[in-house]
Structure 1
Amino acid sequence: MSELFIHFSTAGCLQVVLLGFIGGVLSGFIGSGGAFFMTPGMMNLGVQGVVAVGSNITHKFGKAMVGSRKHGQMGHVDKKLGIFMLITALIGIRLAVFISTYLFESKGGEGETGAAANLYISIVFISILFVVAISMLRDILSKKSELDEGPSKKLVNYFSRLRLFPMINFPIADVRISLWVLMIVGLATGYLAGTIGVGGFIGVPAMIYIFGVPTAVATGTELFLAQFMGAFGAINYALKGFVDIRLVALLYLGSL
């Protein structure tokens, strides 16, 4: 397993620190730890995909604690919403770790034979970015007036009309959401966090555009949720030997 961990040059270390710095800035503003470029960035340095994800999600745990506390002091964290999403998010993370580990170990896991897991992680990344790009393009093309303000309410109105019981009230977020919708979004958030290290990149937009949660509360709640997803994902990846503590330390150095 020692062959999983590459040797870092001074330039490589500085690049990882820079990734951590940019991720820390994004985490504070939008609730996303920048995993959509941090994980590929580490893979570009020669880090195995599963190690990049495992190290990134481990570093995310501590960073999310700091961000969640700051947002909590401002009243921007709906803990009730975060806990409900966490239920299925943990299942999603466990599923993601299982799939990534299976693909990695099925090919022997060393050198070129780790390509299956790397390809899988890359495909998931590309798919997510493609969907996001198409959604943004569609939103721009369908915009009827430049005077439109705030996030679109189309999905919020659609899901609110479904009335899939049981419906749960969240006072801080000021929304009423079906338990089934919560479970699906939580599962997807956990799966993506465990597969590519992306949590807030999906969770925050989902809370805003599907649940109708205010942007500030969505950001704070995602960071609250990320604490537990990060800890659970870190434990699962560490038990498989896929966490490089050097990467974690360098990411922390740049992000805190």
Structure 2
Amino acid sequence: MAGGPVTGHVTPEQLEIITQILSSDPLNYLWVALLGFMGGTLSGFIGSGGAFLMTPGMMNLGVPGVMAVGANITHKFGKAMMGSRKHGEMGHVDKKLAIFLLITALIGIKLAVWVNGYFFHHLGKAGSSLYVSTFFVLTLSIIGSSMFRDAWRTAKGVAVGPSEFLLNLSKKLRIPPMINFPVAGVKISLWVVLFVGTAVGYMAGTIGVGGFIGVPAMIYVFGVPTVVAAGTELFLAMFMGAWGGL
């Protein structure tokens, strides 16, 4: 598997792997459909496509990490289009914020796709899956540790609310130009928005997550209302899904 170009296109070898997985057990078709249903449900509720569930789920069926991530990113397009339309009708989408985030998110996705492709072509299926799994473990460990800390403090009778550290930090970083986002009701430095967009894009291209990181980032870093963050993330995910699948 060593050598070969690092591209975003499906090779005959990758297509053969998928065919073998599906043909080996008819129940795999059902599991794939169930994963899609669960991802769609999560998308409508919280703006997350459920990649933290779907990517490991596909890898558990035997799909290489890089292909599981690619499939998860691509299927977001249609799902996000439906979800963002509903949120848009309710006025919960800040398209201006989504466009600014998209600028660097696309760069982050392409960089992550290249890295994933490098691991797959030079280290094979095992190397690709190990890279994606390690990234997943680190990400979920950080989030899990934060949740455990809050639960522990609650058990001790300490009042626990949403952390405002990142929000206060972003407000202090008033580096021109400052951009006003009327739907979200916030005014943020362009550089903070572009940095968050790059990080969200890289995460999306590495482990297939988007809303899982993007929604909390908009809430805790920008101060965007929860419903607007979810709707804006779905609008953003349409373009990220289309770009990541190319």
**With structure 2 as the length reference, what TM-score do the two structures score?**
0.88
Structure 1 residues 47-86: aligned runs within 5 Å: 47-86=63-102
Q: Distance in 2 between matches of 1:83 and 1:187?
A: 13
AA partner of residue 3 (structure 1): E
The question of 1:166 aligning with 2:177 is answered yes
Equivalence for 2:186: 175
Distance (whole Å) between structure 1 residues aligned to residue 29 and residue 140 of structure 2: 27
1:7 pairs with 2:18? no
Report the alpha carbon displacement of residue 10 of structure 1 after superposing the two structures with TM: 2.2
* 1:119 lines up with 2:130 in the alignment: yes
Q: Which of the pair has the greater relative contact order for Cα pairs under 8 Å at 6+ separation?
A: 1
Distance 2:117 2:62 in 1: 18
Question: Equivalent of 1:202, from 213, 216, 222?
Answer: 213
Cα-to-partner distance string for 1:31-78 (whole Å, 9 max, x where unaligned): 001000101001101111111111111111110000010000000000
2:7 matched to which residue of 1? none
Of the structure 1 ranges 79-88 and 4-13, higher mean CA displacement relative to structure 2 is found in 4-13
User: Residues of 2 paired with 1:135 and 1:194: CA distance?
Assistant: 24
Report the CA distance shift for 1:80/1:56 in structure 2 as closer, same or farther (over 3 A).
same
The one-letter amino acid of 1:68's match is S
Contact between 2:21 and 2:62, CA under 8 Å: does it hold in 1?
no
Q: Which amino acid aligns with 1:202?
A: I
The match for 1:223 among 234, 238, 242 is 234
Q: What letter corresponds to residue 185 of structure 1 in structure 2?
A: V
Aligned counterparts of 1:95 and 1:169: Cα–Cα separation in 2: 29
Provide the C-alpha distance between the structure 1 equivalents of 2:122 and 2:191, rounded to a whole number of angstroms. 34
Unaligned 5+ runs, structure 2: 1-12
- Which of the numbers 51, 56, 66 marks the counterpart of 1:35? 51
The alignment's C-alpha RMSD in Å is: 1.6
Counterpart contact for 1:88–1:183, Cα < 8 Å:
yes
Partner AA of 1:162 in structure 2: L
Aligned equivalents of 1:62, 1:122: Cα separation in 2:
26
The alpha-carbon deviation at position 137 of structure 1 amounts to 2.6
Q: Which runs of 4+ in 1 moved over 4 A?
A: 141-146
Q: Structure 1 residue 154: deviation in Å? A: 3.0
Check conservation: 2:42, 2:50, Cα contact below 8 A. Answer: yes
Per-residue deviation, residues 80-104 of structure 1 (Å, max 9, x unmatched): 0000000000000000110011111
Contact 2:70-2:245 at 8 Å conserved across structures:
yes
Q: Report the secondary structure of 1:7's partner residue.
A: helix
Count matched residues: 228
Once the 2 structures are TM-superposed, how far is the Cα of residue 165 of structure 1 from its aligned partner? 2.1
Indicate the percent of aligned positions where both proteins have the same amino acid.
63
Q: Any stretches of 5+ residues in structure 1 without a counterpart? A: 108-112, 236-256
In structure 1, distance between residues paired with 2:72 and 2:101: 21
Bigger CA drift: 6-15 or 223-232? 6-15
CA distance in structure 2 between the partners assigned to 1:211 and 1:141 by the alignment: 27
2:21/2:28 contact within 8 Å kept: no
Q: Distance in 2 between matches of 1:183 and 1:80?
A: 13
The CA deviation at 1:3 is 2.9
Shift of 1:180: 1.2
For 1:131, the equivalent position in structure 2 comes to 142
**In the TM superposition, what whole-angstrom CA distance separates every residue of 1:101-127 from its partner, at most 9, and x where no partner exists?**
1111113xxxxx321111111111111
